[in-house]
């Protein structure tokens, strides 16, 4: 029976903490989403460029050694 009481106490604590959370408004969420999308786009471009360079280097090495 102790586990059930512990679980109930845990749920009550969670509910109390959730009530204290300061939730972002719609403008903050939109701005954060925009920043994340721009960051992901920049990272995708960087990774794509690195992939192209490394692919060229590997193809050059393979071609140089008779692949």
Q: Is residue 36 domain-resident?
A: yes
Q: Is residue 29 domain-resident?
A: yes
Taking only the tens place, the pLDDT of each residue in 17-61 is 999 999 999 999 999 999 999 999 999 999 999 999 999 999 999
Residues in the chain: 67
Residue 1 confidence (pLDDT): 63
Q: Is residue 15 domain-resident?
A: no
Q: Where in the chain does DSSP place strands (E)? A: none
Boundaries of domain holding 48: 23-67
Q: Is residue 66 domain-resident?
A: yes
- What contacts 24, CB < 8 A, 6 or more positions away? 32
Name residue, tokens 């719609």. Answer: 26
Residue 2 confidence (pLDDT): 82
- How many structural domains does the chain have? 1
Q: Is residue 4 domain-resident?
A: no
Q: Is residue 59 domain-resident?
A: yes
- The answer on pLDDT for 67 being more than 80 is no
**Token digits of residue 39:** 């960051």
Q: Is residue 55 domain-resident?
A: yes
Residue 64 confidence (pLDDT): 93
Q: Is residue 62 domain-resident?
A: yes
């Amino acid at each position: 029976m102790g586990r059930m009481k512990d679980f109930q106490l845990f749920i009550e604590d969670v509910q109390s903490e959730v009530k204290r959370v300061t939730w972002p408004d719609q403008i903050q969420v939109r701005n954060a989403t925009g920043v994340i999308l721009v960051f992901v786009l920049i990272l995708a471009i960087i990774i794509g460029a690195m992939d192209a360079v490394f692919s060229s280097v590997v193809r050059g090495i393979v071609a140089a050694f008779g692949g």
